[in-house]
Structure formats: C-alpha cells, structure tokens
A and B are shown apart, each in its own frame.
Chain A
Amino acid sequence: MLQMTVARRKMLWAYIFLAIPIVFFAVIRIYPAFFAFAMSLFDYNPLAIDQPYVGFDNYQTLLAEMNKPRSVTRAAFVNTAGYIVLGMPLQLLIALAIALMLNEIRSFATLFRLAFFLPFVTSTIAISWVFRWLYQPQFGLFNVLLKAFELPQQPFLNNPKQALASILAVVVWQGLGFAVVIFLAGLKHIPRVYYEAARVDGATRWQTFRNITLPLLNPSIVYLVVLQSISFLRMFAPVLAMTDQGDGGPLNSTTTVVLRVYREAFQRLNMGYAAALTVVLFCIILLVTIFQLRVTTRRTN
C-alpha cells in the first residue's frame, strides 16, 4: 500500500517537473512546425485580411522557379549546395590537419588551441564586417598586400566568380575551432596501445594514420560531416552582412536558401512561399540526419 503511493507520488512529481517544458515544447517547438507546413499551403500575407488557401501552388511556383536558369530561388539552392560541397570537406581537412599537429606538440598547446578557437565563439556578424573590410577593393588589407607584392588586385566580394569563395573562406575560417576541438577529443580517445603495436610492427607514419587514426576517428568525422553540412545549409548571417544591401549578390552568386526565406517572408511579405521554402529545407535536414543515423547504427553493428 505504502509502496504504491510512493510510486504514484514520484510519478506525479515527474509530471510536475516536466509540466512547463512539455507545454513549452508543444507550443513553441512542435505546434509551429506543423503551422509552418500549413502556412505553405496558403497565400499568406500578414498585411491582408484574408489568407486564401492555395493548395500546393507555392510548391509548384518553387518547382517552376527551380527550372528557370536565372531565378533567384534556383541560385539560392545551387549556392547552398556549393557552400556545403566546397566548404564542409575543406573545413574538415584543415581542422583535421590542425588537430593532428596540435596533438603532436606539448609546448604552447593551450595558446594555439585558444587562437584557433577564438573566431568560433565570436559573433558572425562582427566577423563578417571585419572581413568585408579586409576584402575592400582599394583600402582593404588583402588588396593592400597584393599591391605591395605587385600582384593584381582582386575584386573578391564584388565579382560573381569570387564572391561565393570569399564568403566561404570566412565561414570555414570561423568554424575551424569547433571542428579542431571535436577532432582533438576524438584523437584523445584512441587507445595508446594501437599506436605502440603499430610501432612494433614498424609501420610508417602514413600507415599509422591510414590504418589506425582515420578509422578510429570515424565517429568524429561522421558527426562533423552532418553537423557542418546542416550548418552550411542554414547559412544566412555572413551573406547578409558581406553582400551589397545584404542581397546575396552580385548576380545572386552568394544568396542562400535561408536568405531567400528571410527576404520572401519579411520583405516581400510572401510568407506562404517562404514557409514552403522552409519545409523543403526541413526535408533536406531530415535526410542528412537519417543518413547520420544509418551510418552510426551500421558501424555499431
């Protein structure tokens, strides 16, 4: 009898502890997600009195835009893919190299770690403006240096051929610290005995890296691939801050899906279409996450 009531009392307390979080997640996280789906089926303009139901019109428009060669929506998706495909491997490669080097040294390790880590924790907006100034065509540090070495000056952000790469470099630069820390943690967890065994076998550095370090770092790599891909998928602030009028130019060469969401929803007040864009974004993120789950479960089997 007494046992029963204690168990029930505990149960009741668990619900009390969770009451506010449950309400919060239901109202602030879960309901709005369904609401976004619903909105994508309406011609939703907050200025208007009526929000007419339009079925899948917004998705059809999206599809039609994707098929137009110079449409901004298409540019947004193509560029976003470009940011991921170029940025993610580049970031992981450099971070891995830095982590491996940091793992080799004893003196000043903390200082180096701090230097690589600093940009990651600073505000993207501040960083973006600093780089916009560095890239400035006439007085920016990069072109001043190029000129000093008598090399041709570069337009960087002002040229559609260089702008995406210029923004990407900043994002890769800023995110390095995080990837380095994750790799360092992964490296720390590789049992020392493996390396000792390899040394006994007379393995070269490259063989040790190829056969021990890389396979055992796999969880960190998969984790970072997913996390950084999602992070590039959601790119917004650097493009807003580093392009003229925050428009993702020149010639839409740097615009991203999230920048389009922002422009459509909050400047053109075309919220139904913007919601449709976010639904597509959600589906892509879902696919990436499922991929991660697949890979990690297969590995543990």
Chain B
Amino acid sequence: MNKVRLMLMLVGLLALSGAALADGHVVEIEYWQYNFGVRVDAMNALIEQFHEANPDVRVLHNSEFPYANFRDELAASAPAGVGPDVVTLFYGWIPAFVDAGYLVPLPAEDFPEEWIESHFSPMVANSKFEGSYWAVPTAVRSLALFWNKDIFEAAGLDPETPPATLDEFVDIAIATTTYDGDAEIMNITQQGYAPQLSGQAHHWFREVLLRQYGGVPYNEDNTEVLFNSPEGCEAFAWLASFETEHKTGSNDLFNGATESFLTGTAALHIDGSFRLGAIAKDYPDLNFGVAELPVGPNGERSTFGSYWTHGITRRAAADEARMEAATRFLQFITTAEAGALWVDMVGELPAQLESIGDPELQADPRLGAFTAGLEYAHATFFVDEAQQRQHLIDAFDLIRLGGMDACDALAEGAALEQALLDDFWAGRG
C-alpha cells in the first residue's frame, strides 16, 4: 500500500516537475486593470499569493492607464496582438466587448453555470450574455444613502435617524436647505439634496425609484425600453422636483453634488460603497452615516448593484498554455477569500454569497447598509453605458433647464435609448 502511494507520488511529482521543466519555461500572462490606487495594491497582493501557489505561472500586472484611457488602451493593444490575457472591465461594457469578439466565454468545466449562479450575488447573472458567462467579479458594489450628521443636528433633526421613506427624504431635504435670500437655487448656501444624474442618480432612478413606483426599466430580454411609463414619469418627476420645485439643490452648485457632500455643504447624498475609501482618505473629518436607500411608496426596497469583473481575452484563448494559466489565475482571484481581502483593502463588497453572509460585515456601521442591499440589488444590462447614462442626463436637463414636462423629457430619452438598443441588437443578427 505504502509503496504504491509512494510510487504514485513520485510519478506525480515527476510528471509535474517534468511538465514544468520539459517545457523549460514558466507561462507568462498579462493582467490589466485601470489605475486606481487601492485596487492596484489589492491585486498585487493577490498576484503575490497566486505566484506562491503557482510557480509555473507569472502574471504581469499592468495598471498604469487612467480610467478615462483604459478602453482606448485596450483598443490600441488588440490589433497589434498584444494586451491582456485576463482583463478587468466594468460589467456594463461586457456586451460591447463580446460584440467585438474581444472576450471568450469562460470555460464551462472550470466555471460551471450552476456554481456561478449558486455562489455569487444574483446580479452577477448579468454577465450571462448569449447563453454564456464571459466574466466573474471579485467584488461588487451597491448604492446607499449617505447623510451628514452635523447638518442634521444643526437643523434640529435627530442625527442618528436618516430618512426611511421617500416622503421623509423630501421633508428632510427641505428642512436642511438654507438660502441667502429667497428660496432660489442660486441663493442656496447649504443643500438638502442635489440630484446628480451624471453621478449615481441615474442608477437610482432606473433601478430603484422606477421600481419603487411600480415600473421596470426594460423588458425581459433587454430589447425594449420601458421606463417611459406613467410610473417612470412619476418617479422621474419626483427626482426632478428637488431642483424645480423644492429647490433643495443642484448639481451646478458647489462644484457638483458629490463634492458638495464631501465638503459638508449637502445633507443627503446617494452614492456607492467605493466612496467610503475616498472619504476616509481625503475627508476624514466628515461626520456622516450610511443607511439603506429609503423605501418606496409601497415599502419596496431596491438598490443598484454594479461591479468590475474579470474576463479572459481572445489573445489568451489563442494559446493553450496561456488559456490554462489565465483560467487558473481567474479562479484564484474570484474565490471567497479573494473577496474578503478585497473588502479589507478596497472597501468593496465580496462577490461571493459566502462572504456576504459574514455577520461582522453585516453589522459594520457603514458597509452594513451596502451589504444588506446586495440581497435586493438590480444591475442594469447596458449595451453602451456612457450613452445610456447621457440620455438620462439629457432628459433630466430638459426638465430643469428646458422647463419640459417630466413625461415628455423621459419619452425623448427613452426614444434615443431605444434607438441605441435597436442598433445593438440588429448588429447581433
């Protein structure tokens, strides 16, 4: 018995070292992501662990490109046949990259569908496109409500009680707005709430407010825009009213709504978990709290979930050894442990349900609200994230700058977005 085991072990060892030595070289693969300090550090830590466990693979980490240039740089590398084997993309870009033939489907034997669907946060199912999974994330994010406790206190509100419903949200926004003169936007000295469509407010509308008012953004197979429904009009009008009716704030003031909250001139703010890191670093004195997004008229909860996700490129797929190494690397960086490391270093939430269930995480005064949101988060299926966002920004501007009715403005945005979807799906044959 022992002899047999020893023999087997020896054979195994020989085979292993033989494979590595006979080839005489270590497989080198490239991993790319955009430049964002903490994520770069976290990935470096993961790569170091991966190298220890997999001495036959070397991962070159390229993260020197700023966010704005990242897609450009991928495009620049593709025709030359260079670039990443494993790449981190915003989940909303996946359809476009699949469309271009840039990504290959994840190997089904290494990433079984049932395993992805049972182990990951439900929004990850969004990576499924044309019947395959093309990417898996390490971490996910959701939206929550940020509030400034000092401003609450100064306005005579309980600094520990954030608005729980949309109505309370309006009341508090009004109560915390101060003016120098008449109640006009230009006279605002402190904002209650300022909707920033170019920030997170377009997500808040599409996946949260709209649903809470009883609407849905798109049809089942994402071919049709449905947000210009009566429910959508109502939700959009509600969002616009902060600027047009209640005059509690505008993104034009204080160098933008996010900046306004960070510098302590706005009481309420909707933002993602990734903002926590920035606050800790640049605004450590901000006295704020984080709560789940307010519930809708029927008590319904929702939030918007999104994530950066990792895929394998056609460059890796062209070479068997690279593909194998890339697959192994991708498995390594998407484990529950990797997710846990990510929470600690980046402040994003782990993508695997196992780590989300962590009671410590759920009890965290700040991360807790985001974590709770993961259970009911929706991720939008984007075909062209930047354009789809722009159409909602424009629709919102038509109301606040053009004086248009919310329904008409939304209809215009919907028409433009529908054209975008038609174009995309027509291209898919």
Contacts and interface: CB of A to CB of B under 8 A. Distances in A.
**Do A and B actually bind?**
yes
A45 B101 CA distance: 10
Interface in B372-407: 384, 386-387, 390, 393-394, 397-398, 401-402
B397 A160 contact: yes
B97 A47 contact: yes
A46 B76 contact: yes
Contacts of A153: 186
Interface stretch (A182-190, A192-200, A263-271): A263-271
Interface in B203-254: 252-254
Contacts of A115: none
Interface stretch (B43-51, B67-75, B115-123, B153-161): B67-75
A272 interface: no
A45 B71 CA distance: 12
A136 B259 CA distance: 14
Interface in B63-96: 71-72, 74-76, 78-79
A251 B412 CA distance: 12
A244 to B, nearest CB: 6
B390 A251 contact: no
Contacts of B179: none
Most chain A CB within a 10 A radius of its CB, from B254, B314, B386, B401: B401
A250 B390 CA distance: 10
A50 B427 CA distance: 14
27 contacts: A45-B100, A46-B75, A46-B76, A47-B74, A47-B78, A47-B101, A48-B100, A48-B102, A70-B412, A70-B416, A153-B186, A158-B252, A244-B198, A247-B390, A249-B394, A249-B397, A250-B397, A251-B394, A251-B397, A251-B401, A252-B394, A266-B72, A267-B71, A267-B72, A268-B384, A268-B387, A269-B100
A137 B97 contact: no
Nearest to A43: B427
A153 B252 CA distance: 13
A245 interface: yes
B101 A49 contact: yes
B252 A137 contact: yes
B298 interface: no
A60 interface: no
Q: For the complex, would chain A's binding face be called helix, strand, loop or mixed by DSSP majority?
A: loop
A138 interface: yes
A244 B198 CA distance: 9
Given A47-B78, A267-B71, A268-B384, A159 B401 contact: yes
Contact of A46 (B79, B401, B412): B79
Nearest to A51: B79
A136 B75 contact: no
Given A46-B76, A46-B78, A160-B397, 8 more contacts: A45-B100, A47-B102, A138-B253, A160-B401, A266-B75, A268-B384, A268-B387, A269-B71
Contacts of B71: 267, 269
Given A45-B100, A267-B71, A267-B386, A250 B186 contact: no
B75 A269 contact: yes
B75 A138 contact: no
Contacts of B102: 47-48
Contacts of A47: 74-75, 78, 97, 100-102
A243 B79 CA distance: 32
A268 B423 CA distance: 13
B233 to A, nearest CB: 19
Contacts of B72: 266-267
Contacts of A158: 252, 401
* A-side interface size class: 20 to 34
A89 interface: no
* B-side interface size class: 20 to 34
Nearest to B386: A267
B423 to A, nearest CB: 9
Interface of B: 71-72, 74-76, 78-79, 97, 99-102, 186, 198, 252-255, 314, 384, 386-387, 390, 393-394, 397-398, 401-402, 412, 416
Interface string A264-289: 00111100000000000000000000
Contacts of A247: 390
Most chain A CB within a 10 A radius of its CB, from B79, B97, B397: B397
A251 B398 contact: yes
Contacts of B402: 160, 251
Contacts of A251: 394, 397-398, 401-402
A153 B254 CA distance: 15
Interface string A148-163: 0000110100111000
Nearest to B80: A46
Nearest to B256: A244
A158 B401 CA distance: 9
A244 B397 CA distance: 13
Nearest to A244: B198
A45 B72 CA distance: 11
A49 B314 CA distance: 10
Nearest to A245: B198
B386 A138 contact: no
Interface in A245-259: 245, 247, 249-252
Contacts of B384: 268
B409 to A, nearest CB: 10
A33 to B, nearest CB: 20
Interface in A43-83: 45-50, 70
A107 to B, nearest CB: 44
Contacts of B75: 46-47, 266, 269
Nearest to A72: B390
A125 to B, nearest CB: 15
Contacts of B74: 47
Contacts of B76: 46
A46 B80 CA distance: 10
A113 to B, nearest CB: 37
A193 B243 CA distance: 66
A74 to B, nearest CB: 12
Contacts of A268: 384, 386-387
Given A159-B401, A244-B198, A267-B71, A137 B253 contact: yes
B101 A48 contact: yes
List of 10 A-B pairs having minimum Cβ-Cβ separation, nearest first? A47-B100, A48-B100, A46-B75, A158-B252, A47-B102, A251-B397, A250-B397, A153-B186, A47-B78, A49-B101
Nearest to B400: A250
